Amino acid sequence: MQLKGRHLIDPDGITLEELNKILSLGLQMNSNPKKYSEICKGKILGTLFYEPSTRTRLSFESSMLRMGGNVLGFSDANTSSVKKGESVADTIRVLDDYADILVMRHPSEGTPALASNYSTVPIINGGDGWHQHPTQTLTDLITIKKFKGEIENLKIAICGDLLFGRTVHSLLKTLSRFPNMEFILISPPELKIPKVLKDEVINKYNVKITETTSLEECMAEIDILYMTRIQKERFLKEEDYIRLKDSYILNTSTLDNAKEDLLILHPLPRVNEIHTDVDNDPRAKYFEQAKLGVYVRMALIVLLLGVIE
Ligand code: CP
């Protein structure tokens, strides 16, 4: 099935074959960006961001601009007619005439899915509440593919806020579909992965999942360490955030027993959970990860637009 004209709301909406196609094209674009510099001439990307973002919005904009297309949109819903009470449905009915493809971030879970019911052009979920963030997962996967070769036979530790972290939810669901993956989920007891999600991936894909509170214990055995931020904006009580915010801080000594070819990832933004000294470690690839996000989003845009089939 073609990706042309489809929405991307949940990572489950694309097959493994389609995922691999996006990643391969993204890596080709990364190797030879000039080849694609005019491929989207005359096309417009609309960005509808109801919640703050640096990487997702600007990497999408950079992707479209690097392919010769144009961008429009809002980065603060308060500067749009949302402030006057306009519904998401009406906003989409208008914007789908102004742009050829739309990216939406929204604080409410399910809003991009709702928007897709009203759109005649592809809608991409740029993150909805604590739910899903499928293009961050594409960013994570292209980074793993670039530095590990194949996405298979990997032991991955995911650390931090696994309850509210939408990047974790999308990543766990998606990596579980690749061959022979094993997960160590590290979090404070209050911020464990939602049980329904854990049960879903175990039942569907038969993956091995270990849950723990210790970051240090697994360090020698893992191939990838995926650190995440404690999601301040999702807490109901500030005192709970303050109590949990520094639960894990990766520093150079935590890495003493780690593998030579460990891949250290983080979706960013980072707050305090990776000490800046770690940035000089060649295994730290989170800024490279953010850069690759541009190329994988370029691939996604052209495939959804049908510019490349
Ligand atoms: N990783 C990510 O979604 O970053 P932004 O919130 O800056 O878009």
With a 6 Å cutoff on the Cβ, whether 165 touches ligand 1 is no
Distance 206 CA to ligand 1 centre (A): 30
Distance 140 CA to ligand 1 centre (A): 12
Catalytic residue among 55, 169, 173, 266, which? 55
Residue 211, strand partner residues: 185
Contacts of 184 (CB under 8 A, 6+ apart): 155, 156, 157, 158, 209, 210, 211, 212, 218, 222
What pLDDT is recorded for position 259? 98
Catalytic residue among 43, 105, 166, 297, which? 105
With a 6 Å cutoff on the Cβ, whether 229 touches ligand 1 is no
What pLDDT is recorded for position 236? 87
Tell me the best of 60, 106, 136 to mutate to test the pocket of ligand 1, counting ligand atoms within 8 Å of each CB and taking the most.
Answer: 136
Tell me if residue 105 is catalytic: yes
With a 6 Å cutoff on the Cβ, whether 174 touches ligand 1 is no
| C-beta separation of 170 from 112 below 8 A | no
What pLDDT is recorded for position 275? 97
> In CATH terms, is domain 11-132+293-305 a member of 2.60.120.330?
no
Distance 290 CA to ligand 1 centre (A): 9
Tell me the best of 140, 268, 296 to mutate to test the pocket of ligand 1, counting ligand atoms within 8 Å of each CB and taking the most.
Answer: 268
Give pTM, 2 decimals. 0.96
Query: Domain ranges in the chain?
Result: 11-132+293-305, 134-290
Which of 3.20.20.120, 3.10.105.10, 3.40.50.1860, 3.40.50.1370 is the CATH number of 134-290? 3.40.50.1370
Positions of the chain with pLDDT lower than 70, given as ranges:
none
With a 6 Å cutoff on the Cβ, whether 187 touches ligand 1 is no
Q: Which atom of ligand 1 is nearest to the CA of 58?
A: 8
With a 6 Å cutoff on the Cβ, whether 126 touches ligand 1 is no
Could you check whether 11-132+293-305 and 134-290 share the same CATH topology?
yes
